[in-house]
Structure 1
Amino acid sequence: MSQHLHHEIVIIGAGAAGLTLALELAATHQVAILTKGDITEGSTLYAQGGVAAVLSDKDTIDSHVQDTISAGVELGDEQAIRFTVEHSKESIDWLIEQGVPFTRQNGDDSYHLTREGGHSHRRIIHAADATGLAISNTLIKNAVAHPNIHFYPDRMAIDVVTTKKLGYSGENRAIGIYALNQAKDQVEVFHAQRVALACGGSSKVYLYTSNPDTASGDGIAMAWRAGCRVGNMEFNQFHPTCLYSAKAKTFLISEAVRGEGGRLLLPDGSRFMFNFDDRGELAPRDIVARAIDHEMKRLGIKHVLLDISHKDPEFIQEHFPTIHQRCLNYGYDLTKEPIPVVPAAHYTCGGVVVDQNGATDVDNLYAIGETSYTGLHGANRLASNSLLECIVYARAAARDILTDTSPRGDFAIPDWDDSKVTNSDEDVVITHNWHELRRFMWDYVGIVRTNKRLLRAKHRIDLLQSEIDEFYSNYKVSADLLELRNLAVVSDLIIQSASLRKESRGLHFTLDYPEKLAQSGPTILHPNPPIT
């Protein structure tokens, strides 16, 4: 028999979005937070740069809105963009109230604001160069201390349980989730009045990523199977500058390094970004990543160089203490020499389609943070808008939940049925498919695409999905199998979306349609019928 646990709200993920939602609801609701591993692990932890917000008298909401529209190559939803920016200051005030130690100016009590690529003003509030860590630590500390917030680590969510899947009549609504307790190797049933997917993006579909291992698109895949639309999955942001080192795997070098004067160089020491954009190193990430990719392929080199050693060593150590120390650990001194960098998959601009309250197409089901598609990012995410989106939409979702007094209903959820499956004796199939998927996504659906590459990727994902579905139907679930299943779904959504866009715009660049269309809209995929 499965263990059944009951909470009013079940949140999957303990990043900035999930923790914010939990803290906003905890005064009146019993909240469960499920995490795949330790409660501290997630993409928020690794965010370096900061949070974009209109905090200076020299800045304006209209300017931040326009910068976001421009970075998104006119594909963002202006209503969603304005909604997010208008709620930026109150979101920062909330974080400050929570105790986040943002960096202050020398000599006065005001907060230091930095500038990043694509921004027309200094509007990035930060905690040195480890803003995500500061936010994560603060919110986790507050959440752990709250008696109404209950953490369930080492739980791998399997699927959202909906009334439609169980055969109940009426509109489709979420009533809980099935989750694998990895420590006990047992599937548990979490009953909930509402479910929130806050489990990050899907950059792990690519061979090289700056993201932690948790970023396997679980929330997007589960929402798709539950009957939700997804949007703009072709727009996958590749961070231009990750440290190139076998030891480092992929350690992200913050946008702020270029914002404070860092220069991108070829092996001969020459700068090249002004050959691609008048803004040079401060161009939006898609342009910088494509320029680096172009130069690497043109010259047959494994990386380019990022150099900020012309700045005062004390300035570098004060502004980038974490990056400086990590580079030293890998044998590079940021104050004395250029460091090798490469692009890596970094951020999923698309996701589960939601409204301004973070609500999906399925009643009682919310998606917030990188799991969601709000319309904010368009064809490319403006630097440091991601953490802002997490806070703004998590608080909006909380307001929606707190003001909704409609009856939730009481639905029975059956035990997880594994009576007809056996233990796998061929886990090599999972390992092989895992590596094959991430390799062909990198080769065929990466920074530069073509119709032929996308067609090849589609053939391969169709074969993989049939193998994975057969494996899933016949063997007991494991964390690796569940992640592979989700990665395959998300990869298919990316391939489908990329194939539908007959232009190059923002993060989606194809050699077959190199020009931008005069008029374009988001790519919305409809599950019809929903995958089960």
Structure 2
Amino acid sequence: MTALTLPVRRRYLVQFNPKRVPHMFTDVLILGGGIAGMRAALSIDTKLETVVVTKDAVTESNSSYAQGGIAGVLDPLDEIANHAADTIAAGKGMCDPDVVESVVAEAAERIRELISYGAHFDEINGELALTREGGHSHRRIAHALGDATGWEVMRAVRDAVIQRETIQTWEQTFLLDLLSWDGRCCGALVWNPQHGKTFVWAKSTILCTGGAGRLYRESTNPDIATADGHAAAFRAGAEVRDMELMQFHPTVLYIAGSSRHLISEAVRGEGAFLRNVRGERFMPEYSPQLELAPRDEVSRAITSEMARTNHPCVYLDLTHLDRDLIAERFPNIGKVCREFGLDIASDLIPVRPGAHYMIGGVTVDELGASSLPGLWAAGEVASTGLHGANRLASNSLLEGLVYGRRCGAAASEHALATPDRFSMPPLVAEWPASDDQDDEDIDLDDVRNSLMSLMWRHVGISRNAEGLEDARVQVDFWDRYISSREFQKPRGWELQNMLLVARLMIASAMARQESRGVHFRSDFPEPREDQLDHVSLLAAT
């Protein structure tokens, strides 16, 4: 493993004095209300008190926006070994085979569990309707509401959580930092508009804060995906790894001036073609798997075609498919496209890649435990070893369910064995006042937009040493004057987190001098066996 260290400007984003901040005690604290966080909550023993903190409304998470579905072996003609082999093939040599086998073996049970919670998956003749997506050798994707699986699954899981009297959910609450003392995580400092800062002391803390897609100009992620959990864990001393591995979804609706909308992989799974501006179907030139090649290969193919034809996008073509099938399978995609005057059954859909899923994250073991005692992590914020260098389509909700359950069980066991102690360590964060701390002269949105554009140009689908060095110098410059300030609202804290995680991503991308999976270096275009290890990072002490 390649081990790097990176200095942080400050251990905590804000100053605090325990005598001036309210305190709250709980057994288990879960940071994040997506699929991993909510499934973790359902694994906590009902004798314990649990608090779930969500940055926005509980309905707002990357999980809710998942379109395609959940992968699992549910067809008698399929086998768990096939799902494992497809996952490992997509991961380009970096998957942990034991993790892969254990996760895919749980898939059918986790899907049946969702049904028991009340999730309604699409059916054909009373059986689960299964589709196929890129990189899968069989139809094994269970989906709901046509193309709104995440919304239906999250509805069912949230309803199950609501039934638990021992689970509190705090919405519109921002994670400022993880609290640590004597080498252990002991809770978090959070903030909301009504109450300001609150210390939440916990016997066990589970990090499920989602991804980092908003570091990029082109992204499928909602605005909340600003890598807050990655940054907080790193500042607290937890190891992170594979931060260079950001997956770019090949097909994001591209209409100038509009927000970016994901066009599910399932569209290609049902037979859609990719065409360039000249009308040519180009994937046969890039992969024998055609439009169903893994996402990294399709994204690079699209980028190449855009450059070759000097055109800002390519096009999805569904015009040869049955109109009724399209309407049944993709009602939400059809609705979004109609808002821009597009009929997906008769018009070509303009698409281009966008940042979609952060593969790198907090290093965890098979139970979701991080390198920082007292802290577990699950979902997109974690690096489990399942995805390797490229995530297989529809394995993300599956991983969130499996590791959410495992984290919840392990954190619950630890909390049950830990006696109540309604006291806190003498943590204080204070620093001298500075004369240049007037935040009114900082245009946060301008810096944020500049960062997103820089990351897209130099740390995007194609990278090289010169671009990465330019990015490193510029991000370090922004970080020096942004992170020296103490902000009072989430917009400033988000930017500080984004800059820190950008530094981690750039350092990791510079260290990996090869091309593998989602990480493509034009100056090192081939994989190298001596570069196969993970790139890990720790905060310099």
TM bucket normalised to smaller? over 0.9
1:412 maps to what in 2? 424
- Residue 306 in structure 1 maps to residue 316 in structure 2: yes
* TM-score, length-scaled by structure 2: 0.92
Matched residue type, 1:232: D
| 1:471-513 Cα distance to aligned partner (Å, 9 max, x none) | 13xxx43101111111111111111111111111110111110
> How far is the alpha carbon of 1:27 from its aligned partner?
2.1
Equivalent pair of 1:357/1:396 in contact (CA under 8 Å): yes
Aligned 1:130-141 pairs, distance under 5 A: 130-141=148-159
Q: Which residue of 2 aligns with 1:29?
A: 48
* 1:6 paired to 2:16: no
Change (3 A) 1:406 1:146: closer
- One-letter identity of the residue aligned with 1:228: A
CA pair 322-425 structure 1, distance change in 2 beyond 3 A: same
Q: TM-score, normalised by structure 1?
A: 0.94
**More divergent stretch after superposition (393-402 vs 363-372):** 393-402
RMSD: 1.8
Q: Please name the residue that 2:267 is paired with.
A: 257
Q: Which amino acid aligns with 1:102?
A: F
Q: How many residues of Structure 1 are paired with residues of Structure 2 in the alignment?
A: 517
Structure 1 CA distance for aligned equivalents of residues 369 and 139 of structure 2: 32
Matched, 1:463 2:477: yes
Structure 1 residue 36: Cα displacement:
1.3
The counterpart of 1:38, out of the listed 57, 82, 102, is 57
Distance 2:95 2:243 in 1: 14
Residues 1:215 and 2:234 are matched in the alignment = no
The answer to whether the 8 Å contact 2:206/2:411 transfers is no
Deviation at 1:519, TM superposition (A): 5.0
Mapping of residues 236-251 of structure 1, within 5 Å:
236-246=246-256, 248-251=258-261
Give the Å deviation of 1:309: 1.8
The residue type paired with residue 115 of structure 1 is: R
Aligned to 1:110: 127
Secondary structure, counterpart of 1:470 in structure 2: coil
Give SS of 1:395's match.
helix
Distance 2:403 2:254 in 1: 34
Query: Which ranges in structure 2 are unaligned for 5 or more consecutive residues?
Result: 1-19
For the residue of structure 1 that corresponds to 2:58, the secondary structure is: coil
Cα distance in 2 for residues equivalent to 1:248 and 1:240? 18
In structure 1, C-alpha distance between the alignment counterparts of 2:48 and 2:85, rounded to whole Å = 38
Instruction: Give the CA deviation at 1:116.
Output: 0.2
Counterpart in the other structure of 1:428? 442
TM-superposed deviation, 1:324: 1.1
1:178 aligned to 189, 192, 214, which one?
189
Paired letter, 2:354: A
1:91-170 alignment runs, 5 A limit: 91-105=110-124, 107=125, 109-127=126-144, 128-164=146-182
CA contact (8 A) 1:247 1:330 kept: no
* Matching residue of 1:167: none
* SS of residue matched to 2:485: helix
The answer as to whether partners of 2:327 and 2:334 remain within 8 angstroms in 1 is yes
Unaligned runs of 5+ in 1: 165-171
Tell me which residue corresponds to 1:447: 461
1:121-520 to 2 correspondences below 5 Å = 121-127=138-144, 128-164=146-182, 172-184=183-195, 186-246=196-256, 248-404=258-414, 405-407=416-418, 410=421, 412-413=424-425, 424-426=438-440, 428-472=442-486, 476-520=487-531
Verify the 8 A CA contact 1:191 1:413 in the aligned structure 2.
no
CA deviation string 1:373-408 (max 9, x = no partner)? 001111100000000000001111122234345436
Distance in 2, matches of 1:519 and 1:126, equals: 40
Contact 2:133 2:292 in 1 (8 A): yes
One-letter amino acid matched to 1:389: E
Q: Distance in 1 between matches of 2:524 and 2:288?
A: 23
Work out the CA distance in 1 between the residues paired with 2:42 and 2:427: 30
Task: Name the counterpart of 1:169.
Answer: none
Structure 2 SS opposite 1:9: strand
Q: Which range moved further: 33-42 or 510-519?
A: 510-519
Which residue type is aligned with residue 97 of structure 2?
Answer: E
Counterpart of 1:168 in structure 2 is: none
Judging changes above 3 Å, is the alpha-carbon distance between structure 1 residues 301 and 173 closer, same or farther for their aligned structure 2 residues?
Answer: same
Letter in 1 for 2:464: T
Aligned position for 2:36: 17
Tell whether the 8 Å contact from 1:182 to 1:479 is kept in structure 2 after alignment.
no
For residue 486 of structure 1, give the secondary structure of its aligned residue in structure 2: helix
Deviations 1:43-68 (A, max 9, x none): 01110000011112111111111100
Deviations 1:308-352 (A, max 9, x none): 121111110011111111111221101111111111000001100
Post-superposition Cα deviations, 1:197-243, rounded to whole Å, max 9, x if no partner, equal 10101111111100001111111111111111111111111101011
User: Helix, strand or coil for the counterpart of 2:123?
Assistant: coil
Indicate the residue corresponding to 2:14 in structure 1.
none
- Greater RCO, CA 8 A, separation 6+: 2
Q: Please point out which of 500, 510, 529 is paired with 2:540.
A: 529
Q: Which amino acid aligns with 1:459?
A: V
